[in-house]
């Protein structure tokens, strides 16, 4: 537990520019949810577990995330040991395509895909319990 805390603090200090803080990612997640409701489209949130990554692996992982992102994607801290990526206007098939492409880029960089969870918000449609964290 102590080592995970030390690694978490080290990652935050050495995180590449452009990685949003938790409160900013939360604000953008709320904004995207409102946009989805207003425009009747879906979006996805991909959450990566990074708590056990060594700092050097974490930096390389974030570098690959940043290189893969679209201009509408937002990347930042979701929780203390989790990174989140908001995929605007991307439902399940868009999130699958993103993860497939990311897995390929990570493999090319000699990295493994961390434990990953995907949440999808369906816009102004009926929400299934567990689809999107509040």
Tell me whether residue 131 is in a domain: no
Q: What digits encode the pLDDT tens for the residues 69-124? A: 999 999 999 998 999 999 999 999 999 999 999 999 999 999 999 999 999 998 76
Residue 11 has pLDDT above 70, yes or no: no
35: buried, middle or exposed (CB in 10 Å: 19+, 13-18, 0-12)? middle
128 falls within a domain? no
Question: What is the pTM (predicted TM-score) of this model?
Answer: 0.81
The answer to the question of residue 80 being in a domain is yes
CATH number at residue 68: 3.30.70.270
Q: What domain range is 112 assigned to? A: 2-121
Output phi, psi for 33, to 5 deg.
Answer: -65, -40
DSSP sequence for 31-98: HHHHHHHHHT--EEEEEEE-TT--HHHHHHHHHHHHHH--TT-EEEEEETTEEEEEETT--HHHHHHH
């Amino acid at each position: 537990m102590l080592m995970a805390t030390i690694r978490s603090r080290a990652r935050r200090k050495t995180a590449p520019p452009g990685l949003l803080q938790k409160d900013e990612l939360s604000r953008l997640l709320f904004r995207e949810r409102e946009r989805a409701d207003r425009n009747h489209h879906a979006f996805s949130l991909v959450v990566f577990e990074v708590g056990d990554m060594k700092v050097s692996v974490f930096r390389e992982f974030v570098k690959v995330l940043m290189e893969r992102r679209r201009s509408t994607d937002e990347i930042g801290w979701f929780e203390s040991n989790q990174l989140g990526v908001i995929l605007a206007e991307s439902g399940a098939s868009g999130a699958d395509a993103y993860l497939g492409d990311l897995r390929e880029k990570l493999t090319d960089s000699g990295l493994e895909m961390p434990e990953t969870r995907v949440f999808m918000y369906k816009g102004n449609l009926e929400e299934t319990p567990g689809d999107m964290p509040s």
